[in-house]
Amino acid sequence: MKTSARLLLTALIATAMTVLSGCASHPELRAYTAEETRQLQLEALQRQGLSLDEYEQRRLVIQRAGSDQVVTEVAERSSSSQG
């Protein structure tokens, strides 16, 4: 009887470990929000070691992303540099 109890206990532990390891290896996937994406971009920008001027310029682009103001500024820069 001791042998069958040990075998049952071993099988139970192995099953529990398998179930728990399966749950731990599959995190819940979800899309990043716009704010989270912007924050990740700013954090990546800080790690690039840019000059202060270039850092500020890129930071402003990231912060203004998605707004009409960025499109207007880019269009104005393009037209002023062409002619």
Distance, CA of 34 to CA of 28 (rounded, Å): 19
* pTM tops 0.75, yes or no: no
Only one residue has tokens 């529990």, namely 16
Reported as a single tens digit per residue, the pLDDT across 13-25 is 888 887 777 766 6
Reported as a single tens digit per residue, the pLDDT across 34-76 is 888 889 999 999 999 999 999 999 999 988 885 655 555 555 6
DSSP 3-state of 65: coil
Nearest residue to 48 (alpha-carbon basis) of 14, 56, 32: 56
